[in-house]
């Protein structure tokens, strides 16, 4: 877990500091599959601006998320370019005035980056937008061997229901 102590910046109201930080990222678990950040640790630009009412935090980094394709399980890579911003009030009056990543001037960069990556993901991570997936009958990769099966025979356990449908 990578954290950053804002006290070492010694910022006063109106001051801004920029730092280059290395953030260690935990694997992202999605749909029972593990997706790894590359590179890890990721190099990021951190900007901290102290205002009279609180602190504005900005984080920018680029990475590639690597793991299995949702449809065919081949290796997939998803490039991400993230630009993040958080605000933490000096005297928060509600939950909207605080950021969960900043506690006692200690900024949890790993948790912030992990949550931002999860929110930036598309519905499905695919190795190719036109991925055909796996055959539902035999499990073959339809990208490598496109094929169709003859009409499947009905499962005999459904015969009684099929007979009811024919009577209706």
Q: What is the pLDDT of residues 133-146, one digit of tens each?
A: 999 888 999 999 99
Of residues 156 and 80, more confidently modeled: 80
Q: Render 45-78 in DSSP notation, one character per residue.
A: EEEEEE-SSEEEEEEEEEEEEEEE-TTT--EEEE
What pLDDT, on the 0 to 100 scale, is given for residue 150?
A: 79
Stated pTM of the model: 0.81
What pLDDT band is residue 81 in, cutting at 50, 70 and 90?
very high
- Predicted local distance difference test score (pLDDT) of residue 152: 64
Q: What is the pLDDT of residues 33-49, one digit of tens each?
A: 999 999 999 999 999 99
Q: 111 falls in which pLDDT band (50, 70, 90)?
A: very high
CA dihedral 70, 74, 80, 86 (to 10 degrees): 50
The string of pLDDT tens digits covering residues 55-69 is 999 999 999 999 999
């Amino acid at each position: 877990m990578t954290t950053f102590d804002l006290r070492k910046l010694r910022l006063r109201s109106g001051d801004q500091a920029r730092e280059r930080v290395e953030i260690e990222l935990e694997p992202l678990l999605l749909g029972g599959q593990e997706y790894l950040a590359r590179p890890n640790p990721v190099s990021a630009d951190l900007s901290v601006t102290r205002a009279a009412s609180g602190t504005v935090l900005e984080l920018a980094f680029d990475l590639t998320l690597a793991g299995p394709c949702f449809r065919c399980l081949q290796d997939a890579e998803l490039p991400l370019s993230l630009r993040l911003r958080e605000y933490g009030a000096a005297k928060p009056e509600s939950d909207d005035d605080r950021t969960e990543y900043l506690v006692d001037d200690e900024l949890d960069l790993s948790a912030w980056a992990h949550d931002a990556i999860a929110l930036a993901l598309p519905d499905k991570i695919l190795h190719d937008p036109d991925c055909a997936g796996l055959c539902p009958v035999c499990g073959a990769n339809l990208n490598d061997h496109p094929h169709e099966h003859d009409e499947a025979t009905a499962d005999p356990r459904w015969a009684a229901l099929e007979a009811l449908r024919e009577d209706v």
